[in-house]
Structure 1
């Protein structure tokens, strides 16, 4: 398959997943999501090891700014000889929700100990020790990446209710958003 055709199809899946999955998930949290290549420098955009990037801090503006490396994704699909619509859809879903997971972890960990007792109690009572530790501000980049991957994979597979970050989002919506 032609690389430009793959990129066009990935872009179409991006738009579909953004509207059907990402924005409906983010709306109750008061967040939006915007593709923004200019938010990242040329070195970041040329790194073929990174497929999806989240612009740290953008979540505090209530907009998750991100960029997806369509070129690297197309090269991967060509190399793997898997140019199926299913593969495109799954990968786009995972990329979007990986970025969302990174933004949520940043937002929630920043909210901890900011004079919102209800939120702090919610974090302190989390049964998942790893998530509790991350939200209390003890960040480990490998743990953050693993949580984002798990969050994205569970959402893509339809098992999001089993994911601790997803469940925390529901609790946050119920108890802390006014």
Structure 2
């Protein structure tokens, strides 16, 4: 697998090696050994899958400690703009984001460590999206940011009047109102 570092520490784009022939293609979508060697040591304990239609924005979500989650995400069908926002207090990139297009054609995956809010916007008629999480979902530890916070300046790549949100995702706080439960851990 090819590992692409982004301009925010910890956010990693992963491109698998794809073997194509006249029958189709094959690739290894996950190897614990290779992930630990090239990205970080973590054990994923829960896989999730969602199906959404054009314009759906899911996010920007996170879970508070002690149930914080790292995620490895990818698209099985369709295309999304996947976004991670740094919400680690003390981080030099606090409030900044990385956006990456994940598609069924590029087979890219995006690793989002703990300390980031995560969301995506569906760019095609339909998408099937998969998440690997390193901690179990606990609703009482949910947290989120407003997807449309102007301070975040995220270009979701679709017209605002086409955005489809859950009721819950309509009312999340903006970054200025967020009391982040995460602090940047400085490495030596």
Tell me the TM-score normalised to structure 1 length.
0.27
Higher normalized contact order (CA 8 Å, seq sep 6+, divided by chain length): 2
Q: Give the TM-score taking structure 2 as reference length.
A: 0.26
More helix by share: 1
Structure number with the higher strand fraction is 2
